[in-house]
Amino acid sequence: MPDLCSDESIDVGCGVVGATIAYELSQVKGLNITVVDRQPPAQASTGAALGVLMGIISQKVKGNAWRMRQTSLERYETLVPELEALTGRKILFNRQGILSLCLLGDYTSEWEKLQEIRHAQGFPLEIWDATKLKQLCPQVDSDKAIGAVYSPRDRQLDPTALTLALVDAARARGVTFKFGVDVLGIKSLERVSHFNDYHLETTQGKIPCDWLVIAAGLGSSPLLAQLKQVVDIRPVLGQALQVHLESSLGNPNFQPVITGHDVHIVPVGGGDYWIGATVEFPTDTQEIPPNKELLESVRQQAIAFCPELASATVTRMWSGFRPRPEGRPAPVIGQLPGCDRVLLATGHYRNGVLLAPATACAIREMIEIF
């Protein structure tokens, strides 16, 4: 590993992925880190995310897609208490698992195969019949669900609280954050020494750097155009809402995330639940006006699963754009071809929160072995 005692690193973007990278890199001895973002932390896709960490219950069972999920789930178990101890912030972290409803027409054989694979990997995955589902989660309509798959080791957390804690912890370790700063250009310098291969031209002046990490989500494409590179990342809108009930659904001591047909019911405490999210693609004009009918459809599906939600009061609605790579798998992680010391950590689409720790570990390894 090279001597990093004088290296300067710039992380462009401070959503959950950028903040996790900054915190991870703050543990590399001698690496001076600056994070630049035109917005405050936890905006854009992070601010709209539900934080459902579907790892073990996902159908990804091998290769990098599974390894990243496993790495992230394992890291979250230590990361959340670590951040809470360092910052004094409380991060909502639901350790009661994820319950995926088996609805009429679903193929339960696929779940049985997944259960075998997970058990071989050392992870519990339970298949419940309708009787057990009614016993443990009486809020679920038994006419809609013929059973369920329960993953006790999957999690859910508050993405905004997590990101703010990451910023506080990274700042305490010497990371510099520059919010409200626009990047006007990226210039590659003549390499006359080991250091400062690039500089960013910003609204607060020039910032030299040896490493440039682009974790700007939808903002990544215009930044990469500055380096004459094309990485096509397009927006996909997601809408969600928060509702309030006078009491918790079902057993107040057992409040897993409930999901069915890509609709999530997320307990956040005090009778409050997040419900979401829509998946809305651009029109021919590349615009995505929020579709109120789609959001109402998601709410009605949640009510169909848990009829008590019909009496819930809607207290908040929000939306955000997820960065989806066009013509290639999500996410985009690795060195930018032809650009020494420019690393990409972007285009996570709907899995930014889930894959943030694994992404940060990957970026750290790239820098350390250079």
CATH number at residue 73: 3.50.50.60
Under 8 Å between Cβ of 238 and 276: yes
Assigned domain for 42 exists:
yes
Q: Whole-angstrom Cα distance, residue 81 to residue 148?
A: 30
Does residue 201 belong to any structural domain of this protein? yes
Considering only residues 226 and 137, tell me which one the structure prediction assigns the higher pLDDT: 137
User: Is the pLDDT at 159 greater than 50, yes or no?
Assistant: yes
Domain co-membership, 315 together with 169: no
Clarify whether residues 300 and 335 are in a common domain.
Answer: no
Residues 41-96: tens digit of each pLDDT? 999 899 999 999 999 999 999 999 999 999 999 999 999 999 999 999 999 999 99
Alpha-carbon gap, residue 326 to 231, rounded angstroms:
8
Number of folded domains that form the chain: 2
Q: Are residues 79 and 172 in the same domain?
A: yes
Q: Does one domain contain both 272 and 145?
A: yes
Contact 100, 149 (CB under 8 A): yes
Burial class (CB in 10 A: 0-12, 13-18, 19+), 294: middle
The pair of structure tokens assigned to 256 is 């897993």
Structural domain contains residue 77: yes
Domain span holding position 271? 95-153+235-325
Q: Is residue 216 part of a domain?
A: yes
Q: Are residues 78 and 205 both part of a single domain?
A: yes
* pLDDT, averaged across the chain: 94
Domain identity same for 318 and 192: no
164 and 284, same domain (yes or no): no
Rounded alpha-carbon distances, angstroms, from residue 141 to 243, 245, 297, 307: 19, 17, 17, 7
Q: Where are the alpha helices (DSSP H) in 205-291?
A: 220-225
Spacing of C-alpha 321 from chain mean position: 12
- 299, 177: one domain: no
Residue 130 reports pLDDT greater than 80? yes
Cα distances from 191 to residues 151, 182, 188, in angstroms, run 51, 25, 9
Shared domain for 301 and 333, answered yes or no, is no
Between residues 12 and 7, the one the model is more confident about = 12
Instruction: Say if 1 falls within a structural domain.
Output: no
Q: State pLDDT tens for residues 323-358.
A: 999 999 999 999 999 888 999 999 999 999 999 999
pLDDT of 212-268, one tens digit each?
999 999 999 999 999 899 999 999 999 999 999 999 999 999 999 999 999 999 999
Judge whether 18 lies within some domain.
yes
Co-location of 172 and 30 in the same domain: yes
The answer as to whether 246 is a domain residue is: yes
Beta partners for residue 66, in sequence order? none
Distance of CA 270 to CAs 188, 244, 248, 351, Å?
52, 8, 7, 27
Pairing of strands 155-157, 145-151: unpaired
